[in-house]
Amino acid sequence: MTYQGLIRRYGRLLDLPAHTQIISLLEGATPLIPMPRLGRELGCELFVKFEGLNPTGSFKDRGMTAAVSEAVGRDAQTVICASTGNTAASAAAYAARAGLRAIVLIPEGKVAAGKLAGAIAYGAEVIQIQGSFDDALSLVVEITQKTPIALVNSINPYRIEGQKTSAFEICDELGAAPDWLCLPVGNAGNITSYWAGFKQYQKGLPQILGVQAQGAAPLVLGHPVEKPETLATAICIGKPARGEQALDAARESDGRIIAVSDEKILEAQRLLAAEGVWAEPASAAGAAGLLAESAAGTLDARGKRVVVVCTGHGMKDPAVIADSFQAPKVISASYEALTETIQY
Ligand code: F0G
C-alpha cells in the first residue's frame, strides 16, 4: 500500500480524539541513514534519523499533522504558535492544507531565512515580537486561553502524540531501540515525545543524550535563562515548556542533558555534511553532544548502536554557511582558467 502519512500508519498507537480529521502532507517515514565514517571514528554503529526530510524540512511536521488534524475536527478556524522558525513553517503548511488561518509569532531578527520564507510562502501571518521565543510563547498561551484560536506549540498534547512516531520508526527499522539516542533540546517537546514513544512501543529503551546550546542551557544550569543566545537559533530558548519532562526522560533513561558550545555545534554540522548529511546548526547539536562526550570519555559509544536525530535541514539556515566560508572563486569561462584553478 502506498504511504499515507503518520496518522494512518500509526494512528492506533496515538491518543487522538475521535473527532480528529486527518490533514497530512505524508510526513514521517524519514530515512535512518548509516554514518560509517563517523561511526568508525567513534567505534560505534552510527545512524542519523534525518528529520530534515519531512515536507517542511523539520521534525515539526510529525506533531503538526496531529495537532492540526485535531483542531480541524473540532472546527477551529485559526491556529497560532510561537516559534524559532520551524514550528512556524510547519504550522503554516498544515493550516494552508486544511484551509485554516495561521498566525505565527517569532522573536524579532532571530529566525533563519529558510524558515521565515517557508512560513510566508505557505501563507501564514507572521508577526515579529520584540522579545524572545519565551515571550512569544507566553503571548500565544494567553490568547488561546481567552479565544477559540487553537494553540499548536508542543504544549498541545497532540503534538507529542504525533512526534512519538519517530521512535516507532526507529524501532521498526532497527528491530529494537538503539543503545543511545542523541538529540537537540529546545522547548523540550521532542525529547519528551521520543521517550514516551520508546516506552510505549516496548522494543527496548535507549539512553537519551539531550543537548542544549551553551548560551541557552536552562536544563543544564537548573534555572531559566533570561536572555538566551546561540547561533543555533532553533534552540535559543530560555524557559522550556516541557523542561521537567525532559529532565525526567534523561534521568529515567539513564542518560543526561548537556550543553555544547556554538563552535562544537558548527564542527558537528561540518562533520555530518562531510558524510553527506546537511543539518541546520541546532539539528547538529545531538551529534556535537555525542562527539563531546566521547572525547571526554564520559560516554563510551564503542560497540554500541547510536542514533543521532538531525531535526532540521541545512537549507533552513543558509546564512550560517555563507557567513563562515569565503565566497567561491570567480574565474573566466575558459578551459585554461578551469584547469589552472583546479590544478588538474
Ligand atoms: N531542532 C530544531 C531544528 C528545532 O527547530 C527545534 C525546536 C528543536 C531542535 C528543539 O526541539 O523544542 O522540541 O526541544 N524548534 C521550535 C520551533 C522551538 O519553534 O521551531 P524541542
- Condensed to tens digits (0 to 9), the pLDDT of residues 97-116 reads 999 999 999 999 999 999 99
pTM over 0.75: yes
Characterise 5 by phi-psi region: left (phi > 0), alpha (psi -120 to 50), beta (else). left
Residue 327 lies in a domain: no
Q: Is 86 in the pocket of ligand 1 (CB under 6 A)?
A: yes
Q: Is the pLDDT of residue 122 over 80?
A: yes
C-alpha pair distances (Å), 225 with each of 218, 250, 276: 6, 20, 34
Q: What is the per-residue pLDDT for 138?
A: 98
- Pair 112, 187 in one domain: no
Residue found under cell 504550522: 91
- Pair 186, 274 in one domain: yes
Distance between CA 31 and CA 170 in Å, rounded? 9
Q: What is the per-residue pLDDT for 73?
A: 98
Distance between CA 314 and CA 58 in Å, rounded? 10
- The distance between the two most distant Cα atoms of the chain, rounded to a whole number of Å, is 69
Cβ(123)–Cβ(96) below 8 Å: yes
- Pair 283, 248 in one domain: yes
Q: Is 314 in the pocket of ligand 1 (CB under 6 A)?
A: no
- 277: confidence class by pLDDT, cuts 50, 70, 90: very high
Interval between CA 98 and ligand 1 midpoint (Å): 23
- Pair 289, 196 in one domain: yes
3-class SS letters over 109-177: CCCCHHHHHHHHHCCCEEEEECCCHHHHHHHHHHHHHHCCCEECCCCCHHHHHHHCHHHHHHHHHHCCC
- Which residue type is seen at 10? Y
Tell me which of 51, 311, 317 to substitute to probe ligand 1's pocket, judged by most ligand atoms within 8 Å of the beta carbon.
311
- Pair 96, 169 in one domain: no
Indicate the range of 42-46, 138-142, 295-299, 320-324 predicted with least confidence.
320-324
Q: What is the per-residue pLDDT for 325?
A: 77
User: What CATH number does residue 300 fall under?
Assistant: 3.40.50.1100
Residue 108's domain comprises 60-156
Q: What is the per-residue pLDDT for 256?
A: 98
Residue 339 lies in a domain: no
Residue that is last in its domain, among 121, 137, 156: 156
Give the percent of the chain with pLDDT over 90: 97
Q: What is the per-residue pLDDT for 324?
A: 76
Residue 27 lies in a domain: yes
DSSP-based three-state secondary structure for 104: strand
Residue found under cell 588538474: 344
Burial class (CB in 10 A: 0-12, 13-18, 19+), 173: middle
Calculate helix-pair angle for 285-296, 262-273, nearest 10 degrees: 100
Residue 35 lies in a domain: yes
Residue 262 lies in a domain: yes
Q: Report the number of distinct structural domains present in the chain.
A: 2
The residue nearest atom 3 of ligand 1, judged by CA position, is: 312
Q: Is the pLDDT of residue 32 over 90?
A: yes
- Pair 49, 186 in one domain: yes
- Pair 29, 164 in one domain: yes
Interval between CA 229 and ligand 1 midpoint (Å): 15
Q: What is the per-residue pLDDT for 19?
A: 98
Interval between CA 206 and ligand 1 midpoint (Å): 21
Residue 333 lies in a domain: no
Mean of per-residue pLDDT scores for the chain:
97
Tell me which of 83, 190, 208, 244 to substitute to probe ligand 1's pocket, judged by most ligand atoms within 8 Å of the beta carbon.
190
- Pair 37, 66 in one domain: no
Q: Is 184 in the pocket of ligand 1 (CB under 6 A)?
A: yes
Residue 324 cell numbers, joined:
563562515
- Pair 44, 165 in one domain: yes
Q: Is the pLDDT of residue 16 over 80?
A: yes
Q: Is the pLDDT of residue 262 over 80?
A: yes
Residue 74 lies in a domain: yes
Distance between CA 148 and CA 101 in Å, rounded? 12
Q: Is the pLDDT of residue 322 over 90?
A: no
Cβ(33)–Cβ(290) below 8 Å: no
Distance between CA 163 and CA 181 in Å, rounded? 15
C-alpha pair distances (Å), 24 with each of 27, 68, 83: 7, 9, 21
DSSP string, 27-91: -----EEE-HHHHHHHTSEEEEEEGGGSTTSBTHHHHHHHHHHHHHHTT--EEEEE-SSHHHHHH
Q: Is 132 in the pocket of ligand 1 (CB under 6 A)?
A: no
Q: Is 269 in the pocket of ligand 1 (CB under 6 A)?
A: no
Distance between CA 39 and CA 275 in Å, rounded? 11
- Pair 190, 294 in one domain: yes
- Pair 104, 249 in one domain: no
Residue found under cell 575558459: 334
Ligand 1 atom nearest 316 alpha carbon: 3
Q: What is the per-residue pLDDT for 164?
A: 98
Residue found under cell 503571548: 139
Average pLDDT over residues 71-95: 98
Residue 89 cell numbers, joined:
513553517
Average pLDDT over residues 16-20: 98
Q: What is the per-residue pLDDT for 330?
A: 97
Q: What is the per-residue pLDDT for 323?
A: 83
Residue found under cell 582558467: 337
Distance between CA 51 and CA 29 in Å, rounded? 9
Cβ(58)–Cβ(119) below 8 Å: no
Helix H or strand E segment including 254: none
- Pair 83, 72 in one domain: yes
Residue 290 lies in a domain: yes
Residue that is last in its domain, among 124, 156, 188: 156
Q: Is 137 in the pocket of ligand 1 (CB under 6 A)?
A: no
Interval between CA 194 and ligand 1 midpoint (Å): 13
Ligand 1 atom nearest 237 alpha carbon: 18
Q: What is the per-residue pLDDT for 327?
A: 86
The residue nearest atom 4 of ligand 1, judged by CA position, is: 234
